[in-house]
Amino acid sequence: MKVKENYVNVIPMKEIRSTDDLLFPFPIYNELRAQTGIRYDETRKCWDLFRYADIQSVLKQPKLFSSQRGRSTSKTSILTMDPPKHTKMRALVNKAFTPKAIKQLEEKIKDLSHDLLKQVEHEHTFDVVHDLAAPLPVMIIAELLGAEVKDRQFIKKHSDALVAGAKDESQEAIQAVVDMQKRAEEELSDYFLHLIQKRTEAPANDLISLLIQAEIDGEQLTENELLGFCILLLVAGNETTTNLITNTVRLLTEQPDIVEAVREDSSLIPQLTEETLRYYPPVQAIGRIATQNVEIAGQQIQKGDYLIGWIASANRDEQKFEDPETFRLDRKSNPHMSFGFGIHFCLGAPLARLESNIAIEILLNTFKEFKCTADSLKPIQSTFVFGVKEFPVQVLRSEGRS
């Protein structure tokens, strides 16, 4: 394949650079989808796909479009495996994400959400990201892996670094992000290597112990594979859920009529979560590499070419969704691709949904009113992640105390 090391993961699209565009890039996706649907970006050396049908076609053909792509990090993970090893690894990891296993975390998520909000109960304002949306998923991931909850700031800091993007395509900006990601991966690897060694000597009831003891075709996972999975779970489970919760609160402050509808009927919260995933997706794009020459929408893709499927665009494709620019709680069909599609559909999707549903319900029950107090929001500087660094809100508690 042509791509050995590709910086497409850290170089932003030329159309999306300003703060305003990073905070609300969807009109740009709509324009690109209408203009071309697919185009080659010479600066980033990749194909951009904007239409639902084209992106879905790529994601459902793993033999033709491989996940084994050049990345800024080097650890082997299930995200970058192809069948047959991916199939076996996923079956193994699925044991930690069965409906029963996820259900068992429900009370823990409720307790943590209550505890986190209790810490700000006497405040007039608090930050949704720092005080709720960021710590909650890190604590749950730590619980799953067997990591120490006290290490959550270390975990969060390095997780953020691994999804960071450059401010522009200058070599200095790109190299700074690549160096930062390399340091973050090295430090996380050291952290998890120590944890793996502890669990090898004294297994516990956690995911790392399960993976250490597991075998695929009579072989145990290599140290590199173990580290890769730990880092993947950390980043995917942390960033996606943090931004899902924050994006939902952002949406509620922007559209107060939605708040009233959900307050009147809490059974609408799962629909609120699904429509937020479509409307404000935590992850905007997914990458693949062509394994052979192929044609997509009239364009000739060469073997080794890198493709980026912009799922944030696909989620607003008028060919797939009725009235896509409107946030609708009553949307009957919502086949968004915010958790991916096909064999790499996000393993942690049920957990992310559960965490968000619980956190939002408790937030709505705790506060009678909340409104954003930021003069301007600061977007996360990332090519693929959609979210904000902070989301300060002013609150009025349900019992009448502000």
Task: Write the DSSP string, 26-83.
Answer: HHHHHHHHHHTSEEEETTTTEEEE--HHHHHHHHT-TTTEES----SS----GGG--T
Determine the pLDDT at residue 401. Answer: 42
Give a yes or no: residue 355 inside a domain: yes
Give a yes or no: residue 2 inside a domain: no
Give a yes or no: residue 56 inside a domain: yes
d(Cα 353, Cα 338) in Å, to the nearest integer? 12
Determine the pLDDT at residue 69. Answer: 52
- Domain containing residue 88: CATH number: 1.10.630.10
Number of domains in the chain: 1
* Mean pLDDT of successive 10-residue stretches along the chain, which has 402 residues: 53 89 96 96 94 96 80 51 70 74 89 94 90 91 81 78 71 82 87 91 87 78 83 79 96 95 95 98 94 96 95 97 97 94 82 96 92 93 90 81 40
| pTM, 2 dp | 0.88
Give a yes or no: residue 402 inside a domain: no
Token pair in block for residue 157: 């800091």
Give a yes or no: residue 108 inside a domain: yes
Long-range CB contacts (< 8 A, 24+ apart) of 76-84?
Answer: 76/222, 76/224, 76/225, 76/228, 77/225, 77/228, 77/229, 77/231, 77/232, 78/228, 78/229, 78/232, 78/347, 79/232, 79/236, 79/344, 83/343
d(Cα 263, Cα 114) in Å, to the nearest integer? 18
Give a yes or no: residue 176 inside a domain: yes
Residue 108 carries which side chain, given as an amino acid letter? K
Range of the domain at 307: 7-70+77-397
Give a yes or no: residue 42 inside a domain: yes
Give a yes or no: residue 126 inside a domain: yes
